[in-house]
């Protein structure tokens, strides 16, 4: 069966078609500038040069119609008709407390996801637009929702409750939810396979270090704790997000700079993190280059970032009472040789010993730890689309 995976943003969307019997990627692509001038679709079929289509795409429905055309194109397509697509898997960011697993997208489920819009006002609306467009264009094709929050629903209460008046949880759902769940689930399952262990007997700390970054403690395939919370702002230092800070800073800056709470919130999301510290960029390649040329604030940003990851690894080692493996994934986790070195430096007393030679690798599965390291350090490229396709395939095959 062929599965189409759709990941919709507000003005962009990414897609892939996978053949599930062999779990192979047939084609992938993305659309940018939906609803803006200069909409463009870039489509890539395995072993072929990418093709670029420029056409007006006023909304998500028009964009998905072009994706469907690309998928069935006689030259660059991977199916003779859309009837060959057995199901569509949709990435949805927030499913609140409602779903701890991927589900078939019925009217009831879609209403429940609409109820979560206030929890993820930037992410759920475009996700829902993509679902609505696909349902209109492919009315007989089953649709499955795969949620970033779902994997983290196994977190025990004592890990997700904030120490604020309890009624804010019961009245408004203010609690820790966690994000990047599909990525953490994928790499933790791969980690168990690489260690030759059952996931049920494996303790793993997964570091998803991309533009957004989060770290998760997973015990026996269930999340014990994760660094992102009510929103993806909590936890690690990120490209442009501050991560954990003293909440009193918000009122202080708002008064000093004469800004509204909403404006300060925007700064904490878009102008903070390593961009805020370095003043250079949110991209670690730029920051590393600046630090190498002697830019002190860029060097400081790298140190602050590494320290925060180290802090969480230490905390999660304590919460899990030891771990079998630390996993690095996502853009920086997969490619950041220097950053992995900085994070793993001086962790020997926790049984974490990086091999500097093995660490000189990017973008493919590898063991990075020394042979005598009690805790394995693994590099595992994430593959959220494969996970979405596998869940979708499983649900529609049941
Ligand atoms: P992602 O959100 O997973 O696509 O990750 C994007 C981030 O990964 C970028 O902002 C970069 O900071 C980081 N990254 C990608 N490639 C490299 C690299 N070769 N070295 C260091 N950082 C990288």
Best mutation site among 12, 30, 212, 285 for ligand 1 pocket (most ligand atoms within 8 Å of CB): 285
Distance CA 147, CA 153 (A): 11
Q: Does 203 lie in the same domain as 143?
A: no
Q: Contact at 8 Å (CB) between 86 and 389?
A: no
Residue 47 has pLDDT above 90, yes or no: no
* Atom number in ligand 1 closest to CA 239: 10
Q: What pLDDT, on the 0 to 100 scale, is given for residue 237?
A: 98
Q: Does 141 lie in the same domain as 270?
A: no
Residue 108 has pLDDT above 90, yes or no: yes
Q: Does 204 lie in the same domain as 125?
A: no
Distance CA 261, CA 250 (A): 7
Active-site hit among 47, 108, 148, 372: 148
Distance CA 279, CA 275 (A): 5
- Does this model's pTM top 0.75? yes
Q: Does 236 lie in the same domain as 365?
A: yes
Which residues sit opposite 90 in a β-bridge?
Answer: 6, 145
255: helix, coil or strand?
Answer: helix
Q: What pLDDT, on the 0 to 100 scale, is given for residue 81?
A: 95
Q: Contact at 8 Å (CB) between 96 and 177?
A: yes
Q: Does 209 lie in the same domain as 113?
A: no
Q: Does 322 lie in the same domain as 204?
A: yes
Q: Does 92 lie in the same domain as 12?
A: yes
Last residue of a domain, one of 123, 147, 171: 147
115-124, 141-150, 205-214, 331-340: the lowest-pLDDT one: 115-124
Note if 59 is an active site residue. no
Per-residue pLDDT tens digits for 372-397: 999 999 999 999 999 999 999 999 99
Residue whose Cα lies nearest atom 9 of ligand 1: it is 283
Residue 333 lies inside a defined structural domain of this protein: yes
Residue 350 has pLDDT above 90, yes or no: yes
Q: How far is ligand 1, taken at its centre, from the CA of residue 34, in Å? A: 25
Distance CA 203, CA 145 (A): 27
Last residue of a domain, one of 117, 147, 177: 147
Residue 51 lies inside a defined structural domain of this protein: yes
Residue 141 lies inside a defined structural domain of this protein: yes
Q: Does 262 lie in the same domain as 320?
A: yes
Q: What's the whole-number mean pLDDT along residues 266-293?
A: 97
Rg of the chain in Å (alpha carbons): 21
Residue 152 lies inside a defined structural domain of this protein: no
Q: Does 111 lie in the same domain as 205?
A: no
Residue 178 lies inside a defined structural domain of this protein: no
Distance CA 26, CA 4 (A): 10
State the SS3 of 88-118. Answer: EEEEECCCCCCCCCCEECCHHHHHHHHHCCC
Residue 170 lies inside a defined structural domain of this protein: no
Last residue of a domain, one of 147, 169, 187: 147
Distance CA 186, CA 218 (A): 12
Q: How far is ligand 1, taken at its centre, from the CA of residue 352, in Å? A: 24
Q: What's the whole-number mean pLDDT along residues 224-241?
A: 97
Q: Does 201 lie in the same domain as 115?
A: no
Element (H, E) at 331: helix 330-335
Residue 97 lies inside a defined structural domain of this protein: yes
Residue 257 has pLDDT above 90, yes or no: yes
CATH code (residue 77): 3.30.420.40
Q: What pLDDT, on the 0 to 100 scale, is given for residue 178?
A: 98
Residue 317 lies inside a defined structural domain of this protein: yes
Q: Is 341 in the pocket of ligand 1 (CB under 6 A)?
A: no
Distance CA 91, CA 9 (A): 10
Q: What is the maximum span of the chain, computed from C-alpha positions, in angstroms? A: 62
Q: Does 356 lie in the same domain as 209?
A: yes
Per-residue pLDDT tens digits for 320-338: 999 999 999 999 999 999 9
Task: Give the tokens for residue 47.
Answer: 């072993």
Identify the domain containing residue 248 by its residue range.
197-384
Nearest alpha-carbon partner for 389 in 143, 106, 114: 143
Q: Is 336 in the pocket of ligand 1 (CB under 6 A)?
A: yes
Number of domains the chain contains: 2
Q: How confident is the model at residue 46 (pLDDT cuts 50, 70, 90)?
A: confident
Per-residue pLDDT tens digits for 178-189: 999 999 999 999
Q: Is 229 in the pocket of ligand 1 (CB under 6 A)?
A: no
The distance of Cα 54 from the centroid of its chain, to the nearest Å, equals: 28
Q: Contact at 8 Å (CB) between 60 and 67?
A: no
Q: How many CA atoms lie within 13 A of 357 on its CB side?
A: 2
Nearest alpha-carbon partner for 226 in 214, 238, 237, 211: 214
Best mutation site among 283, 286, 339 for ligand 1 pocket (most ligand atoms within 8 Å of CB): 283
Nearest alpha-carbon partner for 352 in 323, 321, 320, 330: 323
Q: Does 209 lie in the same domain as 79?
A: no
Task: Return phi, psi of residue 377, to 5°.
Answer: -115, 120
């Amino acid at each position: 069966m062929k599965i189409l995976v759709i990941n919709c943003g507000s003005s962009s969307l990414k897609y892939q078609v996978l053949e599930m019997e062999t779990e192979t990627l047939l084609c992938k692509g993305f659309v940018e500038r939906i609803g803006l001038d200069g909409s463009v679709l870039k489509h890539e079929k395995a072993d072929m040069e990418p093709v670029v289509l420029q056409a007006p795409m006023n909304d998500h429905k028009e964009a998905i119609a072009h994706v469907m055309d690309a998928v069935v194109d006689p030259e660059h397509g991977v199916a003779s008709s859309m009837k060959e697509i057995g199901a569509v898997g949709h990435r949805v960011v927030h499913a609140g407390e409602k779903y701890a697993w991927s589900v078939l997208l019925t009217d009831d489920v879609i209403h429940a996801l609409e109820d979560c819009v206030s929890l993820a006002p930037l992410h759920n609306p475009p996700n829902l637009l993509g679902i609505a467009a696909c349902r209109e264009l492919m009315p007989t094709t089953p649709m499955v929702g795969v949620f970033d929050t779902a994997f983290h629903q196994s977190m025990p209460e004592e890990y997700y409750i904030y120490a604020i008046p309890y009624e804010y949880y019961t009245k408004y759902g203010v609690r820790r939810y966690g994000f990047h769940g599909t990525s953490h689930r994928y790499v933790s399952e791969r980690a168990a396979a690489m260690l030759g262990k059952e996931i049920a007997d494996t303790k793993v700390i997964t570091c998803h270090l991309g533009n957004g970054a989060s770290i998760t403690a997973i015990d026996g395939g269930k999340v014990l704790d994760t660094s992102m919370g009510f929103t993806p702002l909590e936890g690690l230092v990120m490209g442009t997000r501050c991560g954990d800070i003293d909440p009193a800073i918000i009122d202080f800056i708002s008064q000093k700079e004469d800004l509204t709470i909403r404006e300060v919130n925007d700064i904490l999301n878009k102008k903070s993190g390593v961009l805020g510290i370095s003043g250079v960029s949110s991209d670690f390649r730029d920051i590393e280059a600046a630090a190498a040329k002697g830019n002190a604030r860029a060097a400081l940003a790298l140190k602050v970032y590494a320290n925060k990851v180290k802090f969480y690894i230490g905390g999660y080692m304590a919460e899990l009472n030891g771990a079998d493996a630390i996993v690095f994934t996502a853009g920086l986790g997969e490619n950041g040789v220097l950053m992995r070195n900085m994070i793993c430096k001086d962790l020997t007393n926790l049984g974490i010993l990086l091999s500097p030679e093995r660490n000189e690798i990017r973008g493919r599965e590898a063991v990075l730890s020394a042979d005598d390291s009690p805790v394995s350090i693994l590099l595992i490229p994430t593959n959220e689309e494969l996970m979405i396709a596998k869940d979708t395939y499983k649900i529609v095959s049941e």
